[in-house]
Structure 1
């Protein structure tokens, strides 16, 4: 369930993940959940921050290492990487991958379709 913002509205799904990732990217190294909590503009409970970090860990968007009795956290994906992970999870959740990809491609603006073709061509050259 999304955490309400201070003005009484609910945050969009993934907004907290984006804020937590942004805080981790501002850090100069591994940081604690309490550090992340202090950097977020919202008045969030420590447990909420831990829940978001755990979700990001399950998405491979962050990593953690034990330091003493707690963990320190680091981003393993930038915002583009997190978006790609979300796209992959959606695709992995569908039975007909071909249909989903075909539908996605046919709805892309022409510039994005050309970019995708170029990226696929380069990926094929590297493989």
Structure 2
């Protein structure tokens, strides 16, 4: 869970492949789901999961596995996706903007340094920060 510049809480639900933005009284403001991810992949949005694997995942489980989350000083939301081995950048309304980096093995821990406007990512296999 993280909090954005609008004081909304951003939560991830990995098993469901969902990200939610909720206000301080618990009302859902915006969402991004596994269905949204599948739709974007169909439109050519980059995904590290191969076509055959992605089809299998769509039939069996989620194709998008959001885990770590952070918000920056201008409202953008960073979400690591363990399954696709990448970090996605969303705007404050949870519209996907782009992927960050292309050489992750499992981005699994991070923090956003607001003082230096930097996202620090720890990667599973390389053990690099």
TM bracket, shorter-chain basis: under 0.3
Provide TM-score, normalisation by structure 2: 0.25
Provide TM-score, normalisation by structure 1: 0.25
Max Rg structure: 1
Q: Which has the higher strand share?
A: 2
Q: Which has the higher helix share?
A: 1
